[in-house]
Amino acid sequence: MKPVSLTLGQSVTLNPGVTQIQGYVKIEWRFGNERIARIKEINGLVSMDYNSEWKFRGRLHLNNYTGSLTITNVGLEHTGVYELSITIGNEESVEIFSVNVYTPLPVPTIVSYCHQNPISKCSVLCSVLNVSAVSLSWYKGNSLLSSISVSDLSISLSLPLEVEFQDKNTYSCVVNNPTDNRTQHLDPADLSLSSDSVHCYDTTIAVIRLVTAILMVVAAGAAVVVLGLDVKSRI
């Protein structure tokens, strides 16, 4: 089985182990249990047909000289096992391809919590949202410090790290799968050392934390008003 990995929206060509096919030939591609493309050639006369279901409609091209199959604009529904059978005369050969399609990766988000006491250290958290079949890793320079992986489930991942304030090293948080990777860098020199300070390396997270804080203040104010009204009603 030949593994093939690519990103959502790309095109892929599945190439058999032949350079050119001559003479009487039948080429058939199957996806799971259904035939998706076929060529028959007898004495130079070629007939060709493709699967017309929505997931393959207009996306397939079969090369009648090599038997290769091209799938354009792949989607997650194209993940699976593809089987090619080539019959030349009385001989048949079969090849199997395992295709995995991955969604584009987000850039990791880094949030740090720095405390001046008792020692000058920062706790850093790197996160990615709604990912599957990825690894999330912390690097110190080119050295791997820690890593966590997830298989097929779409979840959120977080990986902590503790760094010394004024550390001279550069750190990187990397999320990757077989087709892509995204990196967010961390320079400890950019962290401000103030008690209970929070530093967000992503604007969205910063806005969420700010909105959450505002809602907490509003809720507290509302509670005070309700308490005051209750006191007046009792008087």
Decide if 21 contacts 100 (C-beta within 8 A).
Answer: no
pLDDT digits (tens, 9 = 90+) for 159-187: 999 888 778 889 999 999 999 999 999 98
Residues 8 and 47 in one domain: yes
Residues 26 and 94 in one domain: yes
Residues 195 and 209 in one domain: no
Among 102, 128, 143, identify where a domain stops: 102
Residues 88 and 143 in one domain: no
The model's pTM is 0.69
What residues make up the domain containing 209? 202-235
Residues 131 and 186 in one domain: yes
* Long-range own/partner contacts, residues 167-171 (CB < 8 A, 24 or more apart): 169/140, 169/141, 170/140, 170/141, 171/124, 171/138, 171/139, 171/140, 171/145
The span from the CA of 123 to the CA of 196, in Å, is: 11
The span from the CA of 169 to the CA of 141, in Å, is: 7
| CATH code, domain carrying 162 | 2.60.40.10
Residues 194 and 219 in one domain: no
Determine the pLDDT at residue 65. Answer: 79
Determine the pLDDT at residue 217. Answer: 39
Confidence label for 231 from pLDDT (cuts 50, 70 and 90): very low
Among 76, 102, 128, identify where a domain stops: 102
Residues 6+ positions from 95 with CB-CB distance below 8 Å: 2, 16, 17, 83, 84
Residues 24 and 38 in one domain: yes
Quick one: which of 58, 32, 61 has its CA closest to 48? 61
Among 102, 128, 158, identify where a domain stops: 102
Q: How many domains does the chain have?
A: 3
Residues 93 and 121 in one domain: no
Residues 96 and 123 in one domain: no
pLDDT digits (tens, 9 = 90+) for 10-49: 999 998 876 666 666 788 999 988 999 998 876 667 778 8
Average pLDDT over residues 189-215: 47
pLDDT digits (tens, 9 = 90+) for 98-148: 999 998 999 999 998 876 655 577 889 999 998 888 999 999 999 999 999
Quick one: which of 168, 176, 174, 196 has its CA closest to 112? 196
pLDDT digits (tens, 9 = 90+) for 186-196: 988 777 654 34
Residues 182 and 211 in one domain: no
Kindly provide the b/e burial profile for residues 150-186, where b requires at least 16 CB atoms within 10 angstroms of the residue's own CB: beeeeeebebebebebebeeebbbbbbbebeebebeb
Determine the pLDDT at residue 73. Answer: 95
Strand arrangement, sheet containing 25-31: 2-7, 91-102, 80-88, 25-31, 34-42, 45-50
User: CB count, 10 Å around CB of 120?
Assistant: 14
The span from the CA of 35 to the CA of 50, in Å, is: 8
Residues 71 and 146 in one domain: no
Residues 97 and 6 in one domain: yes
